[in-house]
Amino acid sequence: MQIIVDIGNTDAVFGLYNQNAWQHIWRTPARKDEHAGSYEGKLRLWLLEANIALSDVQTTVLSSVVPDLTPTMRAMLNELFGFESIVVGPGVYPLLPIEVLRPHEIGADLVANALAAHTRYKRTCVVVDFGTALTFTTVSAEGKILGIAIAPGLKTAIRSLFANTAQLPEVPIEIPASALGTSTTHAIQAGVMLGYEGLVRSLVSRIQAELGGDCIAVATGGLSGRIPSLRDVFVDIVPSLTLEGVRLIGELVTTQLNAP
């Protein structure tokens, strides 16, 4: 049984993996000022509700793009379960069957996306991750990360308007009925939601063109299904792909370290 933790800029996601399947996935806000005891309390409660004893967990794997939270979460996991967690980072990348671009710069979540896509599809693939940032990670059929594109995420774009303008409100992440906004809310939704449809289509198309067309696209992230009209762009929509990549990294590292 494994606990997989993926700390993003907005949420910390905890997954319980057992018998070749995700048994539970829990999500909580990732707060830099939250102490380890708060996360420990939440995790203890989730495991209690799932009827899982701490001793049932044999492996924990941690991925984080929030440096201030990484040591806090690592110490919590180590103390709670009594063994050292595997932490995704440059130190473990040489053990993976993919070639990581600029290992000291790239986010751990993007490496996880690349590995999960490479393992699942064995084809050149661009993973579009709809999170705090909207990221496009392209990995070749041979397992080389070819490049990345980054834009503000849907929530980030809407919150930026709300935070940096005097009269624009924060609005729900919903598709409006028309591109002709007849209210402030619908106007923002038209600009962001429909505008991002064009952004994703254009960038995926450009990536595919630069690679000669032999490149599939896959969507992941908590907001990956919020623009239904984009579904024809993707061969698959897998909201938990990043978590699966983190799990695979842990599995590969464990296998390599335990090899004779």
Per-residue model confidence (pLDDT) at position 156? 93
Res 161: pLDDT: 87
Q: Write down the pTM of the prediction.
A: 0.94
Q: What confidence score (pLDDT) does residue 196 get?
A: 96
Domains in the chain with CATH codes: 2-87 (3.30.420.40), 105-244 (3.30.420.40)
- What is the predicted pLDDT for the residue at 211? 97
For residue 37, give Cα distances in angstroms to 80, 96, 252: 10, 33, 30
What pLDDT does residue 166 have?
Answer: 78
Comparing CA positions, the residue from 87, 90, 116 lying closest to residue 103 is 90
Q: Tell me if 117 sits within 8 A of 141, measured CB to CB.
A: no
pLDDT tens digits for range 36-50: 789 999 999 999 999
Active site residues: 109
Nearest to 172 by CA among 185, 163, 183, 162: 185
User: Each residue of 75-89: pLDDT tens digit?
Assistant: 999 999 999 999 999
Residue 191's pLDDT is: 94
**Segment-wise mean pLDDT, segments of 10 residues, the chain, 260 residues:** 95 95 94 84 96 96 95 94 96 96 96 98 98 96 98 92 83 92 92 95 98 96 92 96 97 82
